[in-house]
């Protein structure tokens, strides 16, 4: 069997194991948990937690089992960095699975009714755990940057929608999003946790995106050193490390701003909350405007879209200041605009990764055919940080 077929077969095995684990775990919980933990929302939280645990364990096994870095062949730093990367990716998957599962279970409960749905909770947990175990194992085997970028909107939308639907303040949207998280209720905790996890995932995904840009630049310079026959094939970006450092810093600050909004609720920490909430638009503006200089290898269409996004957000802000709009709408637009931009940015990085892999294959074939001289630093040593078999 080939690589893809083996991944699908292993995914089916993971499905069966995770389904059994999910059913048994939920049955044990329903039988032995104290009464206070048998409340509907807590029961759904535990079910989502079991599903997330099954998904993460399946992902770690699928991702780490073929890794060539989890040994001391290249010293202590390589396995430590690889473990950090596995943990970081696990956080992204755990966040996505937990919040998405919770939102789906809540929607199914509203549709079927609590009395009916409570009798099926173990079966639902088994089904969710099996599907998630299958998906995460297959994705771990075939991991790339595009997969991670596609995960971000799911848990953000799930968390915010769940918080909005379960809040006891039906008029929160008349003020701003901070009011939705400015309580100690379940909805407020869900909203704030979503922002914290979103910021964490932005930082994690940014790490892999920056790693791919560095990998591509290293490969371009390798080809430039090997041959100069094609002037457009291996051009170097001036001051590359300075640019990439500024881009890394801005993306990290954006992630920290999301985390700060969730950590510092407005009522007890209004100053810190406002610094994070009002500082995020300035970071967004810098990213949008400076993108052509920070990451020139991205498509020009992305840069034009970034400028248009900044103009639309500015227009909505002016409209609000004139009294024709609400702060909630402006915050929603800005937040969704940044997350949408970040997803497009990450997918552009994934496209660069795919093009780099195809170009490496062509160069390897050219070397085998004798059209180019082999280099002392072969292309195979320049790999994406996210590759499962790295």
Quick check: 137 and 58 in contact, CB under 8 A?
yes
Gyration radius (Cα) of the chain, Å: 23
Does 304 lie in the same domain as 378? Answer: yes
Domain count, the chain: 2
Does 154 lie in the same domain as 116? Answer: no
In the prediction, which pLDDT does 23 show? 93
Quick check: 141 and 7 in contact, CB under 8 A?
yes
Does 203 lie in the same domain as 228? Answer: yes
Quick check: 369 and 126 in contact, CB under 8 A?
no
Domain stops at, among 95, 125, 143: 143
The SS3 assignment for 19 reads helix
The continuous run of DSSP H or E covering 316 comes out as helix 300-321
Does 218 lie in the same domain as 133? Answer: no
Does 173 lie in the same domain as 61? Answer: no
d(CA 276, CA 173): 20
The residue segments making up the domain with residue 372 are: 145-390
Which residues, including other chains, have CB under 8 Å from residue 357's CB and lie 6 or more apart? 384
Does 192 lie in the same domain as 102? Answer: no
Domain stops at, among 126, 143, 160: 143
Centre a 10 Å sphere on the Cβ of residue 289 and count the other Cβ atoms it contains.
14
d(CA 357, CA 383): 9
Per-residue pLDDT tens digits of the chain, which is 390 residues long: 666 688 788 889 999 999 999 999 999 998 888 888 777 778 888 999 999 999 999 999 988 877 766 666 766 777 787 788 788 888 888 888 888 888 888 888 877 777 667 778 889 999 999 999 999 998 887 776 667 767 777 767 777 777 776 666 666 666 666 667 777 777 778 788 888 888 888 888 888 888 888 887 777 777 665 555 555 444 567 788 889 999 999 999 998 988 988 888 877 788 888 888 888 888 888 888 888 888 888 888 888 888 888 888 888 788 877 877 666 677 777 777 887 888 888 888 878 877 777 776 776 666 555 555 544 444 444 555 566 556
For 389, phi then psi, to 5°, come to -95, 20
pTM: 0.74
219 vs 233, 353, 366, 382, CA distance in Å? 11, 11, 16, 7
Does 128 lie in the same domain as 217? Answer: no
Does 149 lie in the same domain as 89? Answer: no
Does 132 lie in the same domain as 20? Answer: yes
Domain stops at, among 111, 143, 175: 143
Does 106 lie in the same domain as 35? Answer: yes
In the prediction, which pLDDT does 343 show? 81
Does 157 lie in the same domain as 120? Answer: no
d(CA 33, CA 23): 15
d(CA 377, CA 354): 21
Does 182 lie in the same domain as 132? Answer: no
């Amino acid at each position: 069997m080939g690589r893809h077929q083996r991944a699908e077969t292993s995914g089916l095995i993971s499905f069966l194991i995770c389904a059994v684990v999910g059913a048994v775990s939920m049955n044990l919980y329903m039988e032995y948990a104290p009464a206070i933990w048998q409340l509907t929302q807590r029961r759904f939280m535990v079910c989502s937690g079991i599903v997330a645990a099954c998904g993460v364990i399946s992902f770690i096994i699928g991702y780490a089992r073929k890794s060539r870095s989890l040994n001391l062949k290249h010293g202590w730093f390589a396995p430590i960095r690889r473990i950090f990367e596995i943990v970081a990716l696990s956080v992204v998957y755990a966040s996505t699975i937990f919040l998405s599962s919770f939102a789906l279970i809540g929607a199914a409960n509203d549709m079927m009714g609590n009395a009916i749905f409570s009798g099926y909770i173990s079966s639902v947990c088994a089904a969710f755990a099996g599907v998630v175990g299958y998906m995460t194992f297959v994705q771990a085997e075939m991991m790339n940057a595009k997969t991670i970028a596609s995960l971000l909107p799911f848990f953000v939308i799930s968390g915010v929608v769940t918080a909005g639907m379960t809040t006891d303040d039906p008029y929160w949207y008349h003020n701003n999003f901070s009011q939705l998280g400015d309580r100690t209720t379940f909805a407020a905790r869900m909203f704030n946790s979503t922002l914290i996890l979103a910021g964490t995932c932005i930082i994690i995904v940014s790490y892999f995106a920056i790693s791919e840009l560095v990998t591509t630049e290293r490969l371009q310079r390798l080809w430039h050193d090997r041959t100069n026959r094609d002037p457009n094939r291996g051009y170097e970006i001036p001051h590359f490390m300075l640019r990439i450092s500024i881009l890394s810093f801005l993306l990290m600050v954006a992630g920290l701003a999301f985390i700060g909004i969730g950590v510092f609720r407005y009522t007890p920490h209004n100053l810190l909350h406002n610094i994070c909430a009002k500082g995020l638009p300035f970071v967004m503006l810098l990213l949008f405007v400076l993108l052509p200089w920070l990451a020139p290898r991205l498509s020009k269409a992305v840069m034009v879209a970034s400028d248009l996004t900044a103009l639309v957000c500015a227009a909505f802000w002016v409209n609000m200041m004139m009294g024709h709009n609400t702060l909630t709408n402006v915050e929603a637009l800005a937040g969704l605009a940044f997350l949408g931009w970040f997803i497009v940015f990450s997918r552009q990085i994934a496209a660069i990764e795919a093009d780099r892999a195809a170009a490496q294959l062509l160069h390897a074939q050219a070397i085998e055919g004798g059209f180019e001289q082999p280099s002392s630093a072969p292309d195979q040593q320049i790999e994406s940080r996210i590759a499962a078999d790295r």
